[in-house]
Amino acid sequence: MHLIGTLVVRHTKLIIAVFLVLMVLGGLMSLGVHVNLDNIGYLPDSSSAKQAVAMLEDEFGMRGTATLMVKESDPVKVFALKQQLEDLEEINTVVWLDDRVDMNTPVASWDSRLTDQFYQDGYARFTLAFSDKSDSTITHEGVKKALALAGTDAWMAGPAVTSQHSVERINREVPVYSAVAVVLILILLLLSTTSLLEPLLFLISIGASIVINMGLNLLSGEVSQITFAAASILQLAVSMDYSVFMLHRFHEQRAEGLGIKEAMVKAMTLAAVPVLASALTTIAGFAALLLMDFGIGGDLGVVLARGVTLSLVSVLTFLPALVIVTDKWVEKWTHREIMIPMRFAARIAVKGRYVFCILLFAFAVLFFRAQGKVDYYYGMEHVLPADDSALTAEVKIREVFGDTDQSTLLLPIGNPAGEAALADELMKLDGVDSVDGLALGTMSRLPEELLPDSVVNQFHSDKTSMMILTTRYGTETDQAFTMVEQVRAVVNRLAPQAVIGGGAFTYKDLKDVTDADATRVAIVSAILIFIIVMISFKSLAIPFIAVFLIQTAIWINVGLVYFTRTPMSFISFIILGAIQLGATVDYAILFISRYRENAALLSPKDAARQTVSDTAKSILTSSFILISATFSVYFIATIRTGSELCMFIGRGSLISTLMVLFVLPGLMVIADPFIRATTLGWPKKRSVNP
């Protein structure tokens, strides 16, 4: 670090010029990045639900879908509306009652089981299939046009509508909560620094890395919704402490009388262990997400790990260059430093160390058990707020047509007898209301040969036959998942080449994939961070203490969800642990690093008390920055997944901070003999102050 620091102070203008160019390029590249709102697309290729979606797209042209219900009792007017909808270039097909029955025959001859799916109590229900995916701008335009044609007494729901509303909310809210987060962080930095200019330097240096990172997203072409909504704020929040840690060291060296360049080189050298260890643990936490089979984890993991790496590079090069170049203005705009009195807290932490440690282990057991009982939700309908028109429309449609769910079963064409046998077996299962298909004679009273091609093509392609399963029990209940397992057992026995997608079958795939992901990510992130801390401190005891302390904070954070009886997004559950561990173990690393310095001069108790005073400002500043950034998203964003995740991260930061400032000091004192026995180069024990 001494060599790097020397090179940086010698080439400040070149470094600034390079970063400015990269910022411009990154900003331009970021304009071409697409936001993907399709969770199914992030399932592994082996997922039956994902395979079904691909087959529906390739063979039936079914991409984005939606359900439209209109209040109209005249079949003639409904049929006219259907023709208008079919004329829209964004819509591929419109399915209604006329595709199932001969509208020229008497109404009394119609099969009520079919008509009830499309026409009830003066309401007509259409199924729309768009020409593009649900998250495309073409489909979103088609949603708007379809609603305009349907008039005021119309309700529209489904993936395409949810996607359109999500995009509109994200585009509207991201600039707002990003601006609020920046303002709050700026205020916190102003309170924690000694110059009015330094906070701007912090934001410029980290902001540059964020813009560059956003531009590099173009390499993959797209990012997930949660990555787009939260990644930049999280990068800003979790990496700002590197700047804070290093600048606090820089001011200490300046206070000792060193010149600005010499002070910067020495500050970078002294801050190397906590800054590098903090960055590497954060990167490791994010990198663990790459091991997820569910692709959103890898998407977010790549963006955040790369972002933190860029932030580290910026803090070690761009920020020092900015500080040196603007030194005259920094000195000119100085203000009195705001001190945070922590002596009382330090005394409490050390004096009550046995009580705090007992509580630590008790909470670890209690909340470890609680976090294993949390309920999760999977559906996109939970992403939007309850008063969103897409969700209120879904409720209205279910009130009229019943709380049933339809899924598609796709199997090789040409075996009508096999389809009939399969349908008979499926109908015996609890939860399956009906199994319909052209080959079964359930989609129309007319023989298949007499049906128009437009109807046949909805259920038969050159290679595939489609069957529609109507089920009850919802899509995310235990009963629904049990029914899914039973259906798949029958299908695997009678039609092993078939795939099933939609509704409960998709969410069951999500559950199976993410349950394994959660365990894998938690174990791998803990192991990676343990190894990094072990190498950084040349110790076995220290990584165990640091990881266990923050892991307990994570269990408390998630366990509170169980005690408050509120469901949690499956994405938040998987990602939260890696983010909170990687981001807030930095506080423990900074504390332990400074404790080691103080232990060379003071007794364990005095070293612990002094370390609380030495590190409280940096830890609280870093923590409050993370809390402010994430809570600004939580209070403003209405997209539930991003809002919820940020709330958990902010709350987790607060819990981790309390653990580090009140539990870790006493834990270090109690574990002092163990630390000394398992750590290379630890200072010799002092019983009295010099």
Q: What are the 10-residue block averages of pLDDT along the chain, 690 residues in total?
A: 78 92 94 83 85 84 86 87 92 82 67 76 89 88 94 91 88 87 85 80 91 93 83 83 80 83 85 81 87 87 92 90 86 69 84 94 95 80 81 90 84 86 91 79 56 70 86 84 93 91 86 84 89 91 94 94 86 82 86 91 92 88 88 86 87 94 94 93 67
Q: What is 389-500's CATH number, 3.30.450.20, 1.20.1250.20, 3.30.70.1340, 2.60.40.2700?
A: 3.30.70.1340
User: CATH 3.30.70.1340 region(s) of the chain?
Assistant: 389-500
Q: Are 226 and 571 in contact (CB under 8 A)?
A: yes
Token pair listed for 671: 């574990």
| Among 509, 406, 480, residue whose Cα is nearest residue 48 | 509
What DSSP line would sit under 236-249, residue for residue?
Answer: HHHHHHHHHHHHHH
Token reading at 228? 């787009």
Task: Find all residues with CB under 8 Å of 14, minimum gap 6, and list them.
Answer: none
Q: Which two tokens stand for residue 464?
A: 């595939």
pLDDT of residue 103: 67
Q: Count the residues in the chain.
A: 690
Of 420, 397, 507, 526, the closest CA to residue 69 belongs to 397
Q: Are strands 405-412 and 464-471 parallel, antiparallel or unpaired?
A: antiparallel
DSSP letter string over 93-138? EEE-GGGTS-TTS-GGGS-HHHHTTTEETTEEEEEEEESS-TTSHH
* Burial of 670 (C-beta count, 10 Å sphere; 0-12/13-18/19+): middle
Q: Cα(595)–Cα(589) distance, rounded to whole angstroms?
A: 10
342-379+501-690: in CATH 1.20.1640.10? yes
Identify the three-state secondary structure at position 36. strand
The helix/strand/coil state of 501 is strand
Phi, psi angle pair for 496, to nearest 5°: -60, -20
The β-bridge partners of 411 are 465
Give whole-number Cα distances, 387 to 161, 170, 379, 381, in Å: 14, 16, 16, 11
Could you tell me the CATH superfamily of domain 1-31+193-338?
A: Multidrug efflux transporter AcrB transmembrane domain (1.20.1640.10)
* Chain centroid, CA 6 distance in Å: 39
Say what the pLDDT of residue 689 is: 45
Supply the DSSP string of 192-234, one letter for each residue.
HSSBSSHHHHHHHHHHHHHHHHHHHGGGTSEEEHHHHHHHHHH
- Three-class secondary structure of residue 382 per DSSP: helix
Which residue spans of the chain are classified as CATH 1.20.1640.10? 1-31+193-338, 342-379+501-690
pLDDT of residue 455: 67
What is d(CA 69, CA 455) in angstroms, rounded to the nearest whole number?
20
Distances (CA, A) of 203 to 16, 253, 334, 530, 653: 14, 23, 18, 30, 20
